[in-house]
Amino acid sequence: MATELKRNVKTLILMYQRCGKQPQKARLHDIVRTIEMIKAIEVQFRQKRFLINQWVTLICRYTSEIVD
- pTM, two decimals, is 0.55
pLDDT value, residue 33: 86
pLDDT value, residue 66: 66
pLDDT value, residue 67: 60
What is the C-alpha to C-alpha distance for residues 4 and 9, in angstroms, rounded to an integer?
Answer: 9
What is the C-alpha to C-alpha distance for residues 49 and 51, in angstroms, rounded to an integer?
Answer: 5
Which residues in the chain show pLDDT less than 70?
Answer: 1, 65-68
For residues 9 and 37, is the Cβ–Cβ distance under 8 A? no
pLDDT value, residue 39: 84
Tell me which DSSP letter residue 20 carries.
Answer: T
